[in-house]
């Protein structure tokens, strides 16, 4: 499909996405892009989590070219027919229901005409009318253009990030008095109980199974605190919703790293993270605190010390805590932003 502005649209099946690698790696350097839009991330996602196409849905990569040059890549999941009642037919960004905290098209620069020709081509090809943009960063250029097309959008999730100050002194002064006191109290409790805490910021020998168990224990405790009615609603909806095959970045993403806090050689806390050299950011993907050591705030101490070391190294500008407004993120100086959900019906 081609228009008078020399924009064209091509479609690639899930088995053909590797043909886009060269162009993809150029576009993933764009200002709006995160590790979740990188070619390596989708390479893992396609391998581990994309199901085979069926009569109900299929995965496709849509490319917009300007004067023959690839300018935009859209990984899409097409639901051709509503199934199990709650899985509504429509067009979604591939990566939903996964560890991808931010969803977006892949682009460096973007125009409204590119967005419109892509949406029109996809809707026409699949005879669908509803385009659903989930977990789209409110600061993205794509959202700016979508607001010109529709007013049907709302906050989807809360995110937290930290702009790193130029010095440790500046960072400490940014923290609240309560946070600084909590850090001192944690160290005092460790000393009183004859515990020694040790940090490993890139733990190549970490016991990943133990990390996952710590995370699951924490999630179970949180789930146990939910009311019976909410649990029942969740279980019913969860049975109906389509779930992509699961993957674990801590195992499956080649660039994944783990930082750990050990108390007497037992894992007290961990953060699974990725270094995004393109945006000069540290992306936090998952975290866990051993409930046995909860009163010593090992996760706070680990991240605080990692941030201080990172400021000293002067190689990165941000720590992106991604989705969720857990208290430790705010306590460590993070600021809130939002992801949005946008529905556009042609």
Under the banding of pLDDT at 50, 70 and 90, the label for residue 5 is: low
Q: At residue 279, does pLDDT exceed 90?
A: no
Q: At residue 99, does pLDDT exceed 90?
A: yes
- pLDDT (mean) for 241-263: 95
The pTM of the full predicted model, rounded to 2 decimals, is 0.93
pLDDT in tens, 280-299: 999 999 999 999 999 999 99
Residue-level pLDDT at 211: 97
Q: Which of helix, strand or coil describes residue 157?
A: strand
Q: At residue 1, does pLDDT exceed 80?
A: no
- pLDDT (mean) for 259-268: 96
Cα dihedral 323, 328, 332, 336 in deg (nearest 10): 30
Q: How far apart are CA 323 and CA 119, in angstroms?
A: 27
Under the banding of pLDDT at 50, 70 and 90, the label for residue 87 is: very high
Residue-level pLDDT at 298: 98
- pLDDT (mean) for 18-22: 97
Q: For strands 318-323 and 153-163, give the pairing.
A: antiparallel
Q: Considering Cα of 150, then 154, then 158, then 162, what sign does the dihedral take?
A: positive
Residue-level pLDDT at 273: 98
Nearest to 123 by CA among 5, 37, 24, 1: 1
Under the banding of pLDDT at 50, 70 and 90, the label for residue 223 is: low
Residue-level pLDDT at 45: 96
Q: How far apart are CA 261 and CA 201, in angstroms?
A: 9
Under the banding of pLDDT at 50, 70 and 90, the label for residue 2 is: very low
pLDDT in tens, 25-71: 999 999 999 999 999 999 999 999 999 999 999 999 999 999 999 99
pLDDT in tens, 105-118: 999 999 999 999 99
pLDDT in tens, 301-344: 999 999 999 999 998 999 999 999 999 999 999 999 999 999 99
Residue-level pLDDT at 231: 75
Alpha helix stretches (DSSP H) within the chain: 21-27, 39-49, 112-126, 141-149, 168-174, 177-192, 208-224, 228-240, 249-252, 298-313, 327-331
Q: How many CA atoms lie within 13 A of 239 on its CB side?
A: 5
Three-state DSSP string of 251-306: HHCCCCEEEEEEECCEEEEEEEEEEECCCCEEEEEEEEECHHHHHHCHHHHHHHHH
Q: At residue 188, does pLDDT exceed 80?
A: yes
Considering the chain, what is the average pLDDT of its residues?
94
Under the banding of pLDDT at 50, 70 and 90, the label for residue 229 is: confident
Domains of the chain: 7-156 (3.40.630.30), 161-338 (3.40.630.30)
Q: How far apart are CA 162 and CA 61, in angstroms?
A: 33
pLDDT in tens, 116-140: 999 999 999 999 999 999 999 999 9
Q: How far apart are CA 326 and CA 302, in angstroms?
A: 16
Residue-level pLDDT at 226: 74
Angle of helix 141-149 versus helix 112-126 axis, rounded to 10: 70
Q: At residue 93, does pLDDT exceed 80?
A: yes
In DSSP terms, 155 is beta-bridged to 340
Q: Alpha carbon of 49 to those of 156, 246, 299: distances in Å?
A: 23, 6, 30
In DSSP terms, 91 is beta-bridged to 78, 131
- pLDDT (mean) for 153-166: 96
- pLDDT (mean) for 177-184: 97
């Amino acid at each position: 499909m081609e228009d008078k502005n020399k924009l064209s649209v091509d479609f690639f099946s899930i088995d053909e996405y590797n043909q886009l690698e060269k162009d993809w790696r150029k576009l993933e350097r764009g200002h709006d892009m995160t590790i979740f839009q990188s070619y390596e991330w989708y390479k893992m996602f396609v391998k581990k989590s994309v199901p085979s196409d069926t009569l109900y849905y299929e995965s496709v990569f849509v490319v917009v070219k300007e004067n023959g040059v690839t300018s935009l890549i859209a990984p899409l999941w097409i639901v051709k027919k509503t199934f199990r009642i709650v899985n509504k037919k429509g067009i979604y960004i591939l990566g939903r229901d996964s560890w991808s905290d931010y969803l977006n098209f892949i682009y460096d620069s973007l125009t409204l005409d590119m967005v419109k020709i892509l949406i029109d081509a996809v809707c026409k090809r699949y005879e669908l009318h509803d385009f659903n943009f989930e977990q789209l960063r409110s600061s993205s250029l794509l959202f700016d253009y979508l607001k010109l097309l529709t007013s049907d959008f709302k906050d989807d999730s809360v995110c937290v990030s930290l702009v790193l100050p130029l010095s440790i002194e500046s960072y400490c002064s940014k923290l609240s008095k309560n946070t600084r006191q909590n850090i001192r109290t944690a160290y005092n409790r460790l000393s009183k109980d004859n515990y020694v805490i040790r940090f490993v910021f890139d733990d190549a020998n970490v016991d990943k199974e133990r990390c996952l168990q710590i995370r699951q224990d924490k999630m179970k405790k949180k789930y146990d605190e939910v009311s019976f009615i909410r649990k029942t609603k969740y279980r019913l909806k969860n049975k109906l919703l389509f779930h992509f095959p699961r993957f674990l970045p801590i195992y499956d993403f080649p660039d994944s790293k783990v930082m750990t806090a050990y108390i007497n050689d037992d894992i007290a806390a961990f953060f699974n993270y990725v270094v995004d050299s393109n945006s000069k950011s540290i992306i936090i993907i998952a975290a866990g605190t051993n409930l046995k050591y909860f009163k010593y705030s090992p996760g706070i101490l680990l991240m605080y010390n990692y941030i201080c070391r990172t400021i000293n190294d002067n190689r990165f500008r941000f720590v992106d805590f991604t989705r969720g407004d857990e208290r430790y993120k705010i306590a460590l100086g993070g600021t809130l932003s939002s992801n949005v959900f946008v529905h556009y019906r042609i």
